[in-house]
Amino acid sequence: MREIRAAIVGAGGYAGAELAEILLRHPNVGARGIRGLFASAKREKEAAGGGGGIEEVFPRFRGRLSLPVRAASVEAIAECGAEAVFLATPHEASVELAPELLSRGMKVFDLSAGFRLKDAGLYPKYYGFEHRRPRELASAVYGLVEVNREEIRGADLVAVPGCYPTSAILPLRPLVSAGAVREGTRIIVDSVSGVSGAGRGLSLKSHFCEVSLQAYGVMGHRHEPEIGAYCGRSVVFTPHLVAFERGILSTIHVELSEGWDEERVGRVLREAYGSERFVRLLLAGQWPAVADVRGTNFCDVAWKASADGHLIISSAIDNLVKGAAGQAVQCMNVRFGVEESAGLM
């Protein structure tokens, strides 16, 4: 069996820990194939306070994975012998690390937004920094396997999609491509996410007693241009924070073009995803729920249209799996030519 040697940068965060979970059970990786765990100096210190291992940051790894969490540097990552490197890091860190890792022959799967947007001019507005790696930005492949599978097979740098965008792009892209969306109308995407989407860093609004259902990033959230770029149509996107641990539920409103109805929408979605392993098209009367996708790499999709052509689509994913770590591993599987569902079922 083809062994894949992997490293995780950002192992002290939620997505990094989810990556470790998936890679541990991956038949081509496993504990032996996880060659290095890296984190910020803060996370390294947190691990060192209890002995230096990942099990000190996340006790659920006790007896399962005992690698030390080391400070991230290009030299340390290269020395561990990994061929696949996952960057669960801040955007600016990924932009600096990825080109150096690529120059040393590693394949990079970036979970940040560092290489998702092709227009470098969008980064100052939406992410607060100047993007100074135009060559890598141009060569990066957007890692939505159901859309870019063939491109991912030959990619050295994969920009793993954002969690909210995944939940919106998967149902919208085939409909936009088929001309289902009426010209001159807006697509509305309203999404709710569990608190893990905010990361593991401390902030007042993610404290247990402070979490409440509320909108944020209204009319300008950083994921709005990503959704628009890859579904093929600009959208109005509003995210909401909700008081559960993990999961995303998106409700999408579309005005259908002349001649389109619920049955025709279903035909297009079934043609696009009927043979896809990780997109589940629900039966009429069934609606996605975050509990149904928790801990899985599935995206559940349902839809219903009114007689006058208003379409409502509902989708659900686990933001830490199909929205982050699971999607990254799915990309790795495609890139290294192993079973696409390895480690994910």
Instruction: List 7's β-bridge partners, or say none.
Output: 36, 85
- Contact yes or no for 244/195 (Cβ under 8 A): yes
Report the CATH number of the 6-139 domain: 3.40.50.720
163 carries an active-site annotation: yes
Backbone Cα Rg of the chain: 20
**CA–CA gap between residue 52 and residue 79 (Å, rounded):** 19
Predicted pLDDT at 24: 97
Predicted pLDDT at 194: 84
Alpha helices in the chain (DSSP H): 14-24, 30-33, 41-48, 54-57, 74-79, 91-103, 122-127, 134-139, 145-153, 163-177, 224-231, 262-273, 290-293, 326-335
Helix-strand-coil split of the chain, %, nearest 5: 40, 20, 40
Predicted pLDDT at 112: 96
Mean pLDDT by 10 residues, the chain (345 residues): 95 95 97 93 51 83 92 94 97 96 97 96 94 95 98 98 97 98 97 81 68 83 94 96 91 98 98 98 96 98 97 98 98 98 96
**Catalytic residue selected from 80, 163, 209, 231:** 163
Architecture, CATH, for domain 163-319: 2-Layer Sandwich (3.30)
User: What distance, in Å, lies between the first and last C-alpha atoms of the chain?
Assistant: 18
Cα-based angle 174, 180, 183 (whole degrees, multiple of 5): 125
Q: What is the pTM for the complete model shown?
A: 0.94
**CA nearest to 137, candidates 145, 146, 127, 147:** 127
pLDDT digits (tens, 9 = 90+) for 113-147: 999 999 999 999 999 999 999 999 999 999 999 99
Instruction: List 159's β-bridge partners, or say none.
Output: 110, 142
Sorted by where each begins, the domain ranges of the chain are 6-139, 163-319
pLDDT digits (tens, 9 = 90+) for 268-306: 999 999 999 999 999 999 999 999 999 999 999 999 999
Residue 268 phi, psi (nearest 5): -65, -45
**CA nearest to 171, candidates 9, 294, 281, 318:** 281
Please indicate whether the domains covering 6-139 and 163-319 agree at the CATH topology level.
no
Predicted pLDDT at 53: 85
**CA nearest to 47, candidates 36, 34, 33, 58:** 58
Predicted pLDDT at 204: 66
**CA–CA gap between residue 185 and residue 317 (Å, rounded):** 26
Residue 325 token pair: 């770590």
Predicted pLDDT at 49: 47
